[in-house]
Amino acid sequence: MKKKSMHYIEMTFYYIILFFILREWLVPVVELTSTGHLALLLLFIAIAFLLNIFEAPFFISWIIKVAYIAWFIVSVYTEGTVFSGAGIQFLLADIRANISLLLAGDWENVTNPFRSLLFFILIWMLIYLIHHWLTVRKTIFYFFALTVFFISTLDTFTTYDGKAAIVKVILLGLVMTALLYMKRLMAETGTTFVFSKYMRYFLPVIVTIAAVGFMAVLLPKAAPQWPDPVPYIKNLSGNGGQNSMSKVGIGEDDSRLGGSFEADDTVVFTVHSPDKQYWRIETKDFYTTKGWESTGNDNDEYEVAQNEAFISIWPNEKKEAVSAFIYPKIDRSYVLQAYGMMSVLFDAPDAMLFQERATERFNTKGADGSERPLDQYEVVYSTPEYSYTQLKTPVTDSELMYIDERYLQLPDELPERVRTLAADTVEGRKTDYDRAKAIEQYFKRGGFTYETKNVEVPVENQDYVDQFLFETKRGYCDNFSTSMVVMLRSVGIPARWVKGYANGTEVDKTEKGLRVFEIENNDAHSWVEAYIDGIGWMPFEPTIGFVNQSDINFDMELNQSAPQEMLQQQEQDRQEIEREVKEQEEKEKQASKKKHSSNEGSSWVWGIIFFLILLVIGVGLKTRRKWMPKVYIQAQRRKPVSASTIQSSYKVLMRQLTFVGLKRKPDETLQAFAGRVDERFGTDDMSKVTTVYEKAIYSKNTNNHSFDEIKESWEYLINRTTG
């Protein structure tokens, strides 16, 4: 009875480990395919494992699993129950219809319920294989290796981040491998299970694996040595432009937006600037239902003088110009633009400055037309200032300015509900600025979430903006900015999509008082520029958690003949802006503090770890005479008896004897040395061991009985060397 109980405990422990390893298979599958119902899938695995642990009869196990699968499919895909006539009818009809599709080779039209059925069958087969490897082969090496390969492949070729999963699988796999090795060893030697002895061997293994895992997590990792293979593979297959970026950063192709991305803290620019601001690169104007393109020709560009590098958002003539100094950390031929930019100055005689007409992007090129990245350059600018009075004053028809129709373009396929939502959002607003602010603020109160993981990509006939506004409400800057541009255009406000970099992280100050910002790939960002009649182009920031505050002059004084409600609105707007700026500064301050404390804490951790490692090594070396003999004895007991085993054991004994001052002289025979050892310890054990050793060397006729005779003598002598 006791033996049976121990068997159940042992198998339960095995299957708990296997459950967590198998979970790492399901998590990426659910994440990448948007399958959902992870908990119910894990419950099926848990039930199957319990049936294996208690060795349920085949037909009972089969009935329970089939019933669970049927319940899952009916519950998830219908509102009925599996025991109702409608539920059974749904199952049978779906299976029959899909089998016909499979026989006809029509794989694409297989229904989701049938796909779920096939997925459950696949899991069932995998569980059967695991049970076979565990109970018959007593090894899970193939499953372990396959899991590592599976997670590594997904981490490399998809947006799934397998860093944590691979560590968990490796550690759990090592524990499982050690357990099964001990189980096989006990079976081969016929050793009975004794808990105290079992734990004596198992605990050091656990401690070692835990220490290795702890060190593996904390130790610094080298950066990837090979470039990302995904873009290359997609280029070979002709899909290089479609969603080929899996890491955050500035790319060239924005025609298909969406999908998750990985963070990348690579520093791309260092900026010395008097103030923090967004850094513009280019604008795009044509919405494709999936992303952005430019209606103009990217090659349509013209050379500009360094002191005439203007953009369509003009500098503030009333404000003195200032300079920001840009230091690229990686080669980039584009130039960062500040709002109100006037000049781009650089000392590179072989470089010329060009501007693209369609996107307003500035590039530096050599005389032969090739890209010519700059080592550093200076941007001279005067930040635009907008009059609150002008922004809040409706424009008459005579004051309306002509604006290119391309900034009002919308695809014919745009769902009508997007236009309706935009119209409802701006209802009652009298000026373009008020309408634009209403749409900008809509994303802050409409139940939206900023998210870079698990962000869906629209399917073939689905609109990118419609999906975000009405279905997912989850995404990052591209989702928010694109949606705002489309909503602005829907209510007749010209708008364009802008990409560049956010503020970056302030890390220092120069001797001249300039603030030093590090701009990472993580700071790649997109936002909105809207054309406000009577004002011109003006930036807006719809993305949750970001602030790109335009410089607004609240010039509506109390002595003006302005309505009281407008004065109150001005004060509310001023307070709202101050609150947003304060929240953003606090957020950046906390992030910087966290990063600093993390680095500081990391230094302490490394110091403690290094000290502990040295301490363990020192104690181990100092006490090796005490513990090494026990290791030798345990290792010897596990080895099969042979001539080579006897020879290696004798050499170990000779080495240990040197620790107590017994070293064989160059001209001394083995028997003479054995006699000296026996005299020292008052025994004849060394002579016995030496006799068997000489037989093993010269006669090669040593049997198991020979070693059994001197095993106790050998262990006795080894133990005497501990002092």
What structural domains does the chain harbor? Answer: 2-218 (no CATH), 253-555 (3.10.620.30), 624-720 (no CATH)
Q: Residue 558: pLDDT above 60?
A: no
- Per-residue pLDDT at 636: 65
Q: Which of 28-32, 251-255, 607-611 shows the lowest per-residue confidence on average (mean pLDDT)?
A: 607-611
Q: Residue 711: pLDDT above 80?
A: no
Question: Of residues 376 and 187, which shows the higher confidence score?
Answer: 376
- Per-residue pLDDT at 272: 95
* Banded pLDDT at 621 (limits 50, 70, 90): low
> Is there a contact between 350 and 366 (Cβ–Cβ < 8 Å)?
yes
- The CA-CA-CA angle for residues 717, 721, 723, to 5°, reads 130
Q: Residue 324: pLDDT above 90?
A: yes
Q: Cα separation of 400 and 377, whole Å? A: 38
- Per-residue pLDDT at 394: 74
Count of beta carbons in the 10 Å neighbourhood of residue 210: 12
Taking the CA of residue 139 as centre, how many other CA atoms within 13 Å lie in the half-sphere pointing to its CB? Answer: 7
- Per-residue pLDDT at 465: 94
Percent of the chain past pLDDT 90, that is, above it, reads 21
- Per-residue pLDDT at 620: 65
For the chain, give the longest Cα–Cα distance: 120
The strand pairing partners of 517, in sequence order, are 271, 506
> Is there a contact between 649 and 688 (Cβ–Cβ < 8 Å)?
no
What are the residue ranges of helices labelled H in 250-387? none
Query: 545 in helix, strand or coil?
Result: coil
> Is there a contact between 694 and 670 (Cβ–Cβ < 8 Å)?
yes
Give, as one character, the DSSP assignment of residue 275: S
pLDDT, one tens digit per residue, over 141-164 is: 888 888 888 888 888 777 677 888
pLDDT, one tens digit per residue, over 41-87 is: 899 999 999 988 888 888 888 989 988 888 888 887 776 666 667 77
- Per-residue pLDDT at 253: 81
- Per-residue pLDDT at 242: 38
Q: How far is CA 344 from CA 275, 356, 637, in A?
A: 18, 15, 78
pLDDT, one tens digit per residue, over 438-491 is: 999 899 887 888 888 778 888 888 999 999 999 888 899 999 999 999 999 999
* Banded pLDDT at 615 (limits 50, 70, 90): low
Alpha-carbon torsion angle 417, 422, 423, 426, nearest 10: 160
Q: Cα separation of 521 and 499, whole Å? A: 13
- Per-residue pLDDT at 409: 92
- The CA-CA-CA angle for residues 47, 48, 51, to 5°, reads 85
Q: Residue 559: pLDDT above 70?
A: no
Question: Of residues 117 and 623, which shows the higher confidence score?
Answer: 117
Q: Residue 203: pLDDT above 70?
A: yes
Q: Residue 322: pLDDT above 50?
A: yes
Q: Cα separation of 540 and 124, whole Å? A: 53
Most confident of 258-267, 550-559, 630-639: 258-267
- Per-residue pLDDT at 718: 79
Q: What is the DSSP string of 654-715?
A: HHHHGGGT----TT--HHHHHHHHHHHHTSSHHHHHHHHHHHHHHT----HHHHHHHHHHHH
* Banded pLDDT at 399 (limits 50, 70, 90): very low
Q: How far is CA 383 from CA 274, 317, 323, 338, in A?
A: 11, 9, 11, 8
Q: Residue 243: pLDDT above 50?
A: no
Handedness of CA 358, 360, 361, 362 (dihedral sign): positive
* Banded pLDDT at 244 (limits 50, 70, 90): very low
Q: Cα separation of 8 and 30, whole Å? A: 31
Q: Cα separation of 577 and 580, whole Å? A: 5
Taking the CA of residue 121 as centre, how many other CA atoms within 13 Å lie in the half-sphere pointing to its CB? Answer: 6
| Closest CA relative to residue 325, chosen from 383, 267, 279 | 279
Mean predicted confidence (pLDDT) in 166-192: 80
What mean pLDDT value characterizes the chain? 79
Q: Which of 255-269, 359-373, 516-530 shows the lowest per-residue confidence on average (mean pLDDT)?
A: 255-269
pLDDT, one tens digit per residue, over 9-21 is: 888 888 899 999 9
Q: Cα separation of 191 and 126, whole Å? A: 31
- Per-residue pLDDT at 395: 65
Handedness of CA 285, 286, 289, 290 (dihedral sign): negative
* Residues 6+ away with beta carbon under 8 Å from 126: 22, 25
Q: Residue 500: pLDDT above 90?
A: yes
- Per-residue pLDDT at 113: 84
- Per-residue pLDDT at 478: 92
Q: Residue 392: pLDDT above 70?
A: yes
The strand pairing partners of 495, in sequence order, are 530
Question: Of residues 219 and 55, which shows the higher confidence score?
Answer: 55
- Per-residue pLDDT at 613: 65
Count of beta carbons in the 10 Å neighbourhood of residue 494: 23
- Per-residue pLDDT at 166: 86
- Per-residue pLDDT at 600: 47
Q: Residue 240: pLDDT above 50?
A: no
Give, as one character, the DSSP assignment of residue 192: P
> Is there a contact between 97 and 109 (Cβ–Cβ < 8 Å)?
no
Q: Residue 627: pLDDT above 70?
A: no
Q: Residue 286: pLDDT above 80?
A: yes
- Per-residue pLDDT at 338: 92
Mean predicted confidence (pLDDT) in 287-300: 84
Bin 112: left if φ > 0, else alpha if -120 < ψ < 50, else beta: alpha
Q: Cα separation of 270 and 326, whole Å? A: 6
Q: Cα separation of 99 and 150, whole Å? A: 29
Q: Cα separation of 548 and 439, whole Å? A: 15
Give, as one character, the DSSP assignment of residue 471: I
> Is there a contact between 241 and 226 (Cβ–Cβ < 8 Å)?
no
Tokens 């061991």 -> residue:
689
- Per-residue pLDDT at 602: 46
pLDDT, one tens digit per residue, over 77-114 is: 776 666 667 778 888 888 888 888 788 777 767 788 88
Q: Cα separation of 540 and 498, whole Å? A: 10
> Is there a contact between 49 and 130 (Cβ–Cβ < 8 Å)?
no
Give, as one character, the DSSP assignment of residue 585: H
Q: Which of 126-135, 376-385, 563-572, 703-712 shows the lowest per-residue confidence on average (mean pLDDT)?
A: 563-572
pLDDT, one tens digit per residue, over 400-435 is: 555 778 899 999 999 999 999 999 999 988 889 899
| Closest CA relative to residue 442, chosen from 426, 429, 456 | 426
Q: Residue 343: pLDDT above 70?
A: yes
- Per-residue pLDDT at 585: 55
